[in-house]
Amino acid sequence: MTELRSQIPALTVETRAVEPFGSLLPLLDAQHPLLFVRRGEGVAGLGEALRLEFRGPDRVREAAETWRRIVAAATIDDPVQRSGSGLIAFGAFGFADDSERASVLIVPRVILGRRGGVSWVTRIDGAGDAVTAEPLGPEYRLRLHPGRLDGDAYAAAVRQAVARIDEGSLHKVVLARDMVGHLPQTADLRRVLMHLALSYPDTWTFAVDRFLGSSPETLVRVKRGTVSARVLAGSIGRGADADADHAAAVRLATSTKDLDEHGYAVRSVVQALAPHAPHIAASEMPYALKLPNLWHLASDVEGTLSDGSTSLDLVAELHPTAAVAGTPRSAALELIHELEPSDRGLYGGPVGWVDAAGDGKWAVALRSAEVSEEGDIRAFAGAGIVAGSDPEHELAETRLKFRPVVEAFG
């Protein structure tokens, strides 16, 4: 973790309402955007007033404790009082406990917000950064190629996973494969975000530490004592016309394989939240959630917190859910480590923001890619493997899930 144990900065935070922004995206830094929006509303950031890095199995808990200390030392002037106003930190946490990729919390120098017709600017320590829209950089077109796990190798890994499931060592495992590419170092990353935000408006479009994506899955949301989550597991491609599309949704909603996979994911979330929200409730039956490229089985979970947990506290309890790891969790993680040749980095981890009250919004980092400072791109997509999973079907599912990122870069 960044050395703050002996000295916590006393941040001065000032938020003011401003004339409404047309869009947050043109205001972002082209190389290091900070963003978390859905349907055009949310928060963005410019620069870094404070950057914290965490590693290891206690990375999220360390982040939660450090954030409490930062908030306690801060002076906050926030007359706007909206979700995302005042002091916030953007965060992205690695999937695996032993990931080489650092997990981060970033407090921008300037925070921009837009919600319910109200726009605001928050400045940290009097930051004077200009908030101006800049034209997007030149267009680019590139193709992503199979990484360390190509299609044949992925299908073989699925067969191995099904064999382990049949042996009874676990019920479900989520296996991911990677695709890679390269961007010019000066490429404007806002172009990727613009494509994702316009093409997938009902997802969380995010950018943290050159990690970009649009996730349909809410890991956890905390607001004034209420906790909620949206669980996605089980999917099928959209149909070519209205009749075929309806038939696909019906097949998904009645698929024993997908319903079983979804049930594992919902139970993992409910069990993790129950100690903090004793009356947590989930949808009685999953519903079909329509996205531009596929249908998902979805369930909403909601409850009232009884112990004052912050959103980061709950992120630590929830991650990784069965939707991105499997069940039982420990057996699934061991099999992922055995069968996947690449460190997932931030893929499948929590991404979002936390405010001074501990409230916040966190998504599961899906439909995403990391872009190194040198322009190297690595994207991941995965599928839930259960008893009876067909390797070719699961490979096709990963192709569908890669589509948002492949199109955004290409």
The residue annotated as part of the active site, out of 14, 62, 217, 370, is 217
The Cα–Cα gap between 401 and 395 comes to 10
Spell 284-304 as b/e; 16+ CB within 10 A means b.
eebebbebebbbbbbbebbbe
The residue annotated as part of the active site, out of 14, 62, 172, 261, is 172
Backbone angles phi, psi at 39, to 5 degrees: 50, 35
The Cα–Cα gap between 382 and 178 comes to 9
The Cα–Cα gap between 139 and 341 comes to 33
The sign of the CA dihedral 210, 222, 124, 203 is positive
Identify the H or E element spanning 193.
helix 190-199
CA torsion 283→286→288→292, rounded to 10°? 80
Q: Is 208 helix (H, G, I), strand (E, B) or coil?
A: strand
217 catalytically annotated = yes
Residue 154 makes CB contacts below 8 A (sequence gap 6+) with: 175, 177, 391, 394, 395, 398
Which residues are annotated as catalytic? 172, 217
